[in-house]
Structure 1
Amino acid sequence: MTTPAGNPSSPLSRIRIGSAPDSWGVWFPDDPRQVPWRRFLDEVSASGYEWIELGPYGYLPTDPAVLAEETARRGLRVSAGTVFTGLHRGSAVWDSTWAHVAEVAALTQAMGAGHLVVIPSFWRDDRTGEVLEDRTLTAAQWRALTSQTERLGREVRERFGLRIVVHPHADTHVDTEENVTRFLDGTDPDLVSLCLDTGHYAYCGGDSVKLVETYGERVGYLHLKQVDPAVLAEVRAQETPFGPAVARGVMCEPPTGVPALEPVLAAAQGLGVELFAIVEQDMYPCEPDKPLPIARRTRAYLRSCGA
């Protein structure tokens, strides 16, 4: 897929900025505490963004003609879809995984996007904290994760022309620097790229700039967010699950948290390739009037960084 580059006069000319339903408190296809999808589209456009993600499948219209009309009249385009997977469980889950992936990939392709964000399954429930499985994978589970992810990358590319970008995420098995590097070292760069989420990586103790500098050729996509260090220290000490941690404000409005986004964006620009950088400030649940002012301030802040 060919997409327009940023402003060539900008210091971050290769970075394409967008936002996502997540920044409007949207985690589920349907939830009464979430803003309606039309309001999300209206407000993300009013905030100055031109790119969006699909968010949880079924939140935005799944009819490509309807979604194309709704996004186009607001000056919006889709950068990626998102899927959740449990590929460390091996070939037994392939058919159910593919059924989910295929419907999301088909809509993503129809909207002209080129990426599919792949999020590993949670080892504990992100709302209740119930432990669902061991937080550490066995050697056999690691082999299943890497081989099945490569298979997913191959199938998605061949059938839909999309590139998968795997998203390290808190409370999953691909989270810390150790696990992210093990995952990258165990997968084929031609089939598997990374969606570096600056907030999740910091949440799990990682250094985003170091990752870009070390594994830059594997970084295919960015999610921009920050964590509040004080809240993070509390939730780590209390072993708080990710969902309640978000409700406590662990993910915060930039530039008030960490990591600093300017050096991350500069390192990404230095890779010499075009990258999406999608703002994702986890805020579930949130009051319906909260996201728009934050989105506007965040877009202004990123412009001040050159993006």
Structure 2
Amino acid sequence: MDLDRIRIGSAPDSWGVWFPDDPQQTPWQRFLDEVAEAGYHWIELGPYGYLPTDPARLRDELEGRRLTVSAGTVFTALHRGPAVWDATWEHVAKVASLTAAMGARHLVVIPEFWRDPVTGERTDPEQLSPHQFRDLAEGTERLGREVRERYGLTVVVHPHADTHLATEEHVTRFLDATDPAAVSLCLDTGHYAYCGGDSVRLIKTYGERLGYLHLKQVDPAILAEVRRDGTPFGPAVASGVMCEPPRGVPDLPPVLAAAQGLGVDLFAIVEQDMYPCPPDQPLPIATRTRRYLRSCGA
């Protein structure tokens, strides 16, 4: 199948990058060199401050490697209500400004974890109260409208393991409660499978809300152990729960075919969570993954 509506890219996450600055992570220059070498032309910014935040410098670095930004990313805790709005917007505005300056059109918004992704320490109740859910939905709508108005970006909300937006029930409830004109969906196939969801069914049911894709797979055997033991997301990643395609689930060709069938242009950004990872591990995986996706028609 010719997936001519799907634009493939990658992200710092596939090089083991979770934080703006961490000695365990791949230096940003090496990431840019290697993501281009692996055959990708689209990238995400990753955590704000990992790549240069001066637009002119970043543009030069990208142009020299024939790379273009597809999106920026922010974490938000909008379920905590209006009291967190000012601090949230201060951070979002920085990321959105840089994202727009790079010519991108999307801002990926990830809800805050309810337990620390590295230590597993519980920082919030696992389930939201009705009032907290309303704050999450209304706050995200407000964010979507203001980001579009001020920066011309579309907010795409990313369901994520160990957050309050993770399972099929969470996602469908959230989509039903939010305005499609303000809030679109970033479907991460790996996180959705990790939390028991069916990506193809979600695309076929809520396709008009899909604005962005992250391509990722989970190892079913490791996932079963993670679920059995209640392992937090960080240690689960360290155990290899997110794996190289096509070794895991979901099967990506049906996902890509369903997305192509929507008849709209979509970014599909490869993300294989690998924090921490040896410095020489990401490039061969990224190269093989790009080759695999080409064999799928993307």
Using the size of structure 1 for normalisation, the TM-score is 0.97
Distance in 2 between residues matched to 1:133 and 1:156, nearest whole Å:
27
> What is residue 286 of structure 2 aligned with on the other side?
295
Distance in 2 between residues matched to 1:42 and 1:131, nearest whole Å:
37
Q: Secondary structure at the match of 2:21?
A: coil
Q: Which amino acid aligns with 1:19?
A: S
1:37 aligns with 2:28: yes
> What is residue 95 of structure 2 aligned with on the other side?
104
2:206 to 194, 197, 215: 215
2:226 to 213, 225, 235: 235
Distance in 1 between residues matched to 2:115 and 2:296, nearest whole Å:
36
1:267 aligns with 2:265: no
> What is residue 134 of structure 1 aligned with on the other side?
125
Distance in 1 between residues matched to 2:135 and 2:274, nearest whole Å:
33
Distance in 1 between residues matched to 2:277 and 2:102, nearest whole Å:
28
> What is residue 257 of structure 1 aligned with on the other side?
248
Q: Secondary structure at the match of 1:243?
A: helix
Distance in 2 between residues matched to 1:222 and 1:206, nearest whole Å:
15
Distance in 2 between residues matched to 1:273 and 1:80, nearest whole Å:
17
Using the size of structure 2 for normalisation, the TM-score is 1.00
> What is residue 186 of structure 2 aligned with on the other side?
195
Work out the number of aligned pairs and report it: 298
2:160 to 164, 169, 181: 169
Which whole-Å deviations, capped at 9, do the CAs of 1:221-252 have from their partners, x for residues lacking one?
Answer: 00000000000000110000000000000000
Distance in 1 between residues matched to 2:180 and 2:26, nearest whole Å:
38
1:70 aligns with 2:71: no
Which whole-Å deviations, capped at 9, do the CAs of 1:149-188 have from their partners, x for residues lacking one?
Answer: 0000000000000000000000000000000000000000
1:248 aligns with 2:239: yes
Distance in 1 between residues matched to 2:2 and 2:242, nearest whole Å:
27
Distance in 2 between residues matched to 1:60 and 1:233, nearest whole Å:
35
1:157 aligns with 2:148: yes
Q: Secondary structure at the match of 2:116?
A: coil
Identity within the alignment, %:
77
Q: Which amino acid aligns with 2:5?
A: R
Distance in 2 between residues matched to 1:255 and 1:111, nearest whole Å:
32
Q: Which amino acid aligns with 2:57?
A: V
1:58 aligns with 2:42: no
> What is residue 116 of structure 1 aligned with on the other side?
107
> What is residue 16 of structure 1 aligned with on the other side?
7
Q: Which amino acid aligns with 1:246?
A: V
Distance in 2 between residues matched to 1:60 and 1:122, nearest whole Å:
23
Q: Secondary structure at the match of 2:9?
A: strand
Q: Which amino acid aligns with 1:259?
A: P
Q: Secondary structure at the match of 2:247?
A: coil
Q: Secondary structure at the match of 2:185?
A: strand
1:91 aligns with 2:77: no
Q: How far did residue 133 of structure 1 move?
A: 1.3
Q: Secondary structure at the match of 1:158?
A: helix
Gaps of at least 5 residues in structure 1 are 1-9
Q: Secondary structure at the match of 1:256?
A: coil
